[in-house]
């Protein structure tokens, strides 16, 4: 049978040829079974390389494919890492921003005076269109825009500080008014003592004293208060004693936020003594024109006072 197998593998002879050669049936059956076993056990030689150069070419091809796979995996990993970093940054920024706003209290007044009680018990009257802001961690450190009147609760261990347009006011417990404009700031002390500082200069103010800060000139000046009508926005009262009419009308204009003119320039020098106590604009103008024996005429949003020469 071994010889028959050799002939089969070498010449691809058919197994049936053994019978023709006179091989017995049992021997033919064994030959057929051996051939089947060999055919099932044979290896796939389609990828077989007969020399070293062929084999090395296939190895390099596989290495190149593996490098591509590794590079692609690295790209996906880098992209995922970058996305994670960017996402974490925006989450962090969002958290920080929300924390900043949650720790800062901002209070605004619209077209009328607003009364505010601060966390430390201090009272603030905020004039129309004004704004104060403070940290919830430091409620006795205030930043002011516009005008406000402060009645500060006494606390010897925690000074009350107000900053506005270059001026810093530091107090322990007192009452004062502060107003800032584009030109500067005026601080007036109504009761107690205030330490005012600007341009590296510190001044101590007592009751009925005020300080003016002129930003463009880097100047801070202290003086006595001679006219309390600057508080009319809070008290609603204006008092004039032998004041020139043009000065009186200027304060009335500022108080009511309107324009008032005279038809006769000579009226500016007329002296006026009067108290306007929580009156409307029309009521205040009627009082003034009565003193002048004149009248008032409205033109749009402005007013004109008509009167003859004054007696004084």
Lowest mean pLDDT among 47-56, 178-187, 299-308: 47-56
Q: Which CATH class is domain 235-306?
A: alpha beta
Matching fold, domains 109-226 and 235-306: no
Q: What is the pLDDT of residues 63-91, one digit of tens each?
A: 455 445 445 555 555 666 666 666 555 54
- DSSP string over the chain: -HHHHHHHHHH---TTHHHHTT--HHHHHHHHHHHHHHHHH----TT--SSHHHHHHHHHHHHHHHHHHHHHHHHHHHHHHHHHHHHHHHHHHHHHHHHHHHHEEEEE--SS-EEEE-TTS-EEEEPTT-EEEEETTEEEEEEEESEEEEEPPP-TTS-EEEEETTEEEEESS-EEEEEE-SSEEEEEEEES-EEEEETTEEEEE-TTEEEEEETTTTEEEEEE---GGGGHHHH-EEEEEEEEHHHHHHHHHHHHT-EEEES-GGGGG-EEEEEEES--HHHHHHHHHHHHT-EEEEETTEEEEE------
Q: What pLDDT score does 220 carry?
A: 94
Q: What is the pLDDT of residues 23-53, one digit of tens each?
A: 455 556 655 665 565 455 444 455 555 555 6
Label residue 288 by pLDDT band (50, 70, 90).
very high
**What would the mean pLDDT of 136-143 be, rounded to a whole number?**
92
Q: What is the pTM of this model?
A: 0.64
Q: What residues does each domain of the chain span?
A: 2-41, 109-226, 235-306
Label residue 183 by pLDDT band (50, 70, 90).
confident
CATH of domain 109-226: 2.60.120.1440
Label residue 54 by pLDDT band (50, 70, 90).
low
């Amino acid at each position: 049978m071994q010889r028959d197998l050799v002939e089969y593998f070498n010449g691809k002879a058919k197994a049936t040829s053994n019978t023709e050669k006179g091989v017995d049936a049992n021997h033919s059956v064994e030959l057929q079974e051996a051939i089947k076993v060999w055919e099932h056990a044979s290896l796939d030689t389609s990828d077989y390389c007969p020399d070293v150069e062929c084999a090395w070419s296939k190895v390099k091809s596989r290495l190149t494919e593996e490098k591509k796979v590794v590079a692609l995996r690295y790209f996906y990993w880098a992209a995922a890492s970058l996305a994670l970093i960017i996402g974490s940054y925006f989450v962090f920024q969002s958290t920080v921003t929300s924390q900043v706003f949650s720790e800062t209290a901002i209070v605004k007044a619209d077209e009328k005076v607003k009364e505010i009680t601060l966390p430390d018990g201090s009272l603030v009257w905020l004039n129309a269109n004004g704004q104060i802001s403070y940290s919830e961690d430091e409620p006795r450190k205030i930043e002011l825009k516009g005008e406000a009147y402060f009645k500060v609760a006494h606390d010897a261990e925690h000074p009350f500080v107000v900053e506005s347009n270059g001026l810093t006011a530091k107090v322990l417990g007192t009452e004062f008014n502060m107003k800032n404009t584009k030109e500067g700031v005026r601080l007036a002390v109504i009761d107690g003592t205030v330490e005012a500082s600007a341009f590296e200069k510190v001044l101590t103010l007592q009751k009925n004293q005020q300080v003016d800060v002129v930003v463009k000139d880097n100047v801070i000046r202290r003086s006595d208060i001679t006219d309390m009508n600057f508080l009319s926005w809070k008290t609603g009262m204006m008092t004039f004693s032998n004041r020139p009419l043009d000065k009186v009308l200027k304060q009335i204009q500022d108080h009511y936020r309107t324009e008032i003119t005279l038809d006769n320039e000579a009226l500016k020098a007329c002296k006026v003594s009067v108290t306007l106590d929580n009156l409307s604009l029309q009521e205040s103008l009627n009082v003034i024109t009565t003193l002048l024996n004149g009248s008032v005429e409205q033109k749009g949003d402005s007013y004109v006072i008509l009167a003859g020469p004054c007696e004084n």
